[in-house]
Amino acid sequence: MPNLNEWSTSRLLTTAARLVDHAWNERLLDIGITHAGYTTLGVLSREGTMTGARLALAVHVQAQTIGKTLEKLERQGFISRIRDTRDRRSQRITITEAGLMALARAQDIERSLMTGEGLESEELRGLLRDIVVELAPQRSKSVPTAV
């Protein structure tokens, strides 16, 4: 194992995020979604119907990235996409009843995944929130506002 004490904070953070993502995806496989799909369903459940561009901003990814996630979710029947009547280039994305059930199952997995000493500490959560708040505005400047 490498000497983690020599790693930069950003390398530790990205490696930890990747490992959490892999653990998530292994457990979410039974539901038929990935961690990205879980995040997307969560946003749609909370925020309601929205365009792909707005959804990409909400989950902090590029429009192309959200497109791949949406394709998978639509194939599973977890979302529906309808052409926007006001802007034919845009689609309105909605979570389905099956998507709500998948989201509930994924939330159960989330509760069990991150149990363990220190993983749910408020100090760690606060530091991670600070990173997201600091870096998210920089990312949103590079994300297009329309699909």
How confident is the model over 51-97, as pLDDT tens digits? 888 999 998 888 888 989 999 999 999 999 988 777 777 789 999 99
Domain spanning 8-142, CATH architecture = Orthogonal Bundle (1.10)
- What whole-number percentage of the chain has pLDDT above 90? 33
Confidence band (pLDDT; 50, 70, 90) for 140?
low
Are the C-beta atoms of residues 25 and 36 closer than 8 Å to each other? no
The string of pLDDT tens digits covering residues 96-105 is: 999 999 999 9
H/E run at residue 61:
none
Phi, psi angles (nearest 5°) of residue 14: -65, -35
For residue 109, the model assigns a pLDDT of: 86
Mean of all residue pLDDT scores within the chain: 84
Residue with tokens 């297009």: 144
Does the pLDDT value for residue 118 go beyond 70?
Answer: no
Bin 83: left if φ > 0, else alpha if -120 < ψ < 50, else beta.
beta
Select the more confidently predicted residue: 34 or 44: 44
Q: Please report which helix (H) or strand (E) contains residue 42, including its range.
A: helix 35-47
Domain ranges of the chain: 8-142
